[in-house]
Amino acid sequence: MATYERHHCWSLLLRLFHWMFALSIIFLIVTGFYINTPWTNTMIEGSASFPMATMRYIHYIAAYVLSSAVLIRLFLYIFGNAQERVWDILPITGRNLNNLKMTLLQYSYISNKHDERLGHNILAGLAYLLTFIAALLMIVSGFYMLYPESAFWAKWGVMLFGSQQFARYLHHITMWWFMIFAVVHIYLCIWNDCTEPEGLISSIFTGAKFKHKA
């Protein structure tokens, strides 16, 4: 029988980031679809019914939660624990490059070997970094649309996007990345949990992973 030992992997702040990020994205996508294509038509005049205003209100609250989550992740990329720092997932060292290769081989069923490490594997880490950058794009384009008359956002918005409409277009297209990412992310978490019994899924609640005793 194998014996496992418990390793602390994710700080409370990272777990907070994860759930703020995940839940805000769910709300943002649903309300975002409504804002782009309102699927209701109230047709009632003079009533206290504000579906579009309410959806926008929820969208903006969720947007502030997402922005806060991204700030937390930015802090953790620099000041987090060993697994959380950005250096841990960049394919710049021999060890990390090897992990990237082994992960790709394992995911394509070519090899059964699992390169054991406590934090993210490099493939996952890079996907999370890309999602982090996509979230930054959503935040900048979102605030540009929300505060078009503020000198700060108008300056940056025009510089980065040229016009509100182009910001809106990028904002909408980038949203699809989050949905595609979610499908792959949830699947691979379940897949890894089945393949390697290290408590991957529960680690995002408890912060602990289980490793073979050396």
Partner 1 sequence: MADTVKKVLDPQLDRRGFLKGCTMAAAALGMSEAMIPKLVEAAATAERPRVIWLHFQECTGCTESLLRSSHPDLARLILDIISLDYHETVMAAAGHQAEENLHATVNNHPFILVVEGAIPTKDGGIYCKIAGKTAMDILAEVAPKASAIIAIGTCATFGGVQAAAPNPTGAVGVQDLVSGVPIVNIPGCPPNPVSFLGTILHYLTFKRLPALDNLNRPLFAYGRRIHDHCERRAHFDEGRFVEQYGDAFHKLGYCLYKVGCKGPETFSNCPAVRFNDVDVWPVSVGHGCIGCTEPNFWDTMTPFYERLPMVKIPASGIVGSADKIGKTVLGITAAAVGIHAAVGIGKRLIKGKSSDKA
Binding site for partner 1 (CB under 8 A): 1-2, 36-38, 40-45, 47, 49-53, 107, 109, 112, 145, 148-149, 154-155, 158-159, 162-166, 168-169, 172-173, 175-176, 179-180, 183-184, 187, 191
Q: Which helix (H) or strand (E) holds 7?
A: strand 4-8
Please count the CA atoms within 13 angstroms of the CA of 97 that sit on its side-chain side. 3
d(CA 206, CA 15): 8
Minimum CB distance to partner 1 smaller for 23 or for 175: 175
CB of 13 to partner 1, least distance (A): 30
Q: Which residues of 21-47 are buried (b: 16+ CB within 10 A; e: fewer)?
A: bbebbebbbebbebeeeeeeeeeeeee
Q: Which residue has the tokens 């297209």?
A: 173
CB of 83 to partner 1, least distance (A): 22
Minimum CB distance to partner 1 smaller for 56 or for 85: 56
Indicate the burial class of 185 (C-beta count within 10 angstroms; 0-12, 13-18, 19 or more): middle
Please, which residues bridge with residue 5 across strands? 211
CB of 132 to partner 1, least distance (A): 20
d(CA 190, CA 200): 8
Minimum CB distance to partner 1 smaller for 12 or for 151: 151
Minimum CB distance to partner 1 smaller for 90 or for 118: 118
Minimum CB distance to partner 1 smaller for 78 or for 158: 158
d(CA 131, CA 174): 10
d(CA 122, CA 103): 8
CB of 102 to partner 1, least distance (A): 15
CB of 74 to partner 1, least distance (A): 27
Minimum CB distance to partner 1 smaller for 10 or for 153: 153
CB of 174 to partner 1, least distance (A): 10
